[in-house]
């Protein structure tokens, strides 16, 4: 009996710690696509995230797409992507690591001038779930704020994306306390590995069938494949009846 009780206690403990937003536990953001054209299921629900001022998807009733890009460095594709976004009048959010903002001032100023958002992706791209002290957490964000201020003369928009999507409840609380909205995503694909870029067909097979109303799409502007497919992809989305909006629209709809 003693062994059985210990076994049952272990099962319950594991189940509790595996639950979404378990205090102290960290997880990587993940999605399950169960039906074409429908919202995917995240490992935290939209309601759970909204409690912390965090989001991953918009309304199921509105055929709108929110384009977001992550990057820690520049490798020559961003200017072309900005040209395509301008052609399609598609605002985007670029979640950038601090050194990118510091090293690419002309691109940053162009993003801002053309109506895009530059979001905070931390200074050094660490596992933020391992940072338990709010002062250390703040430092990762404030250094990015400083670089953005130096480059643009403005304050950075208070939008934050955890590196690699790794987070826990404490992280969400700290970001919220620092005035940031945490933004995850509802659609992404394996585009970040420059040594193993997907083909055009692979990319389109991931990004077209899984599109859904309110989609927050995560792409990487370091991806050669994305630079090749972007015009075709955005054209296809518009043919499917979608329009593009800024993340500010998503956040305003949640209030």
Q: Could you list the active site residues?
A: 70, 220
3-state helix, strand, coil in the chain (%, to 5): 45, 15, 40
Report the distance separating Cα 232 and Cα 254, nearest Å: 30
46: how many CB neighbours lie within 10 A of its CB?
A: 18
Radius of gyration of the chain (CA): 19
CA distance 1 to 154: 65
Residue 179 region by backbone torsions, left for phi larger than 0, else alpha for psi between -120 and 50, else beta? left
Half-sphere exposure of 154 (CA within 13 A, CB side): 13
Distance CA 38, CA 26 (A): 27
């Amino acid at each position: 009996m003693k062994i059985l009780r210990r076994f049952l206690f272990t099962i319950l403990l594991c189940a509790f710690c595996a639950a979404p937003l378990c205090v102290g536990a960290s997880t990587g953001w993940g999605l399950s696509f169960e039906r074409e054209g429908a919202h995917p299921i995240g490992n935290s629900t939209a309601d759970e995230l909204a409690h912390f001022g965090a989001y991953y998807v918009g309304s199921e009733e509105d055929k709108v797409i929110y384009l977001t890009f992550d990057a820690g460095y520049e490798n020559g594709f961003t200017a072309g992507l900005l040209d395509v976004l301008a052609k399609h009048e598609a605002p985007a959010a670029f979640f950038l690591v601090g050194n990118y903002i510091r090293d690419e001032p002309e691109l940053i100023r162009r993003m801002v001038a053309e109506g895009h958002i530059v979001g905070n992706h931390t200074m050094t791209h660490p596992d933020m779930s391992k940072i338990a002290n709010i002062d250390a957490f703040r430092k990762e964000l404030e250094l990015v704020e400083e670089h953005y201020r130096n480059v643009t003369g403005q304050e950075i928009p208070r939008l934050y994306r955890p590196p690699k999507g790794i987070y826990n409840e404490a992280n969400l609380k700290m970001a919220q306390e620092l005035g940031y909205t945490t933004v995850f995503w509802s659609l992404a694909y394996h585009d970040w590995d420059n040594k193993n870029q997907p083909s055009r067909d692979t990319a389109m097979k991931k990004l077209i069938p899984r599109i859904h109303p309110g989609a927050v799409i995560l792409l990487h502007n370091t991806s050669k494949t994305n630079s090749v497919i972007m015009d075709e992809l955005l054209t296809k989305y518009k043919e499917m009846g979608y329009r593009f909006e800024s993340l500010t629209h998503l956040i305003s709809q949640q209030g």
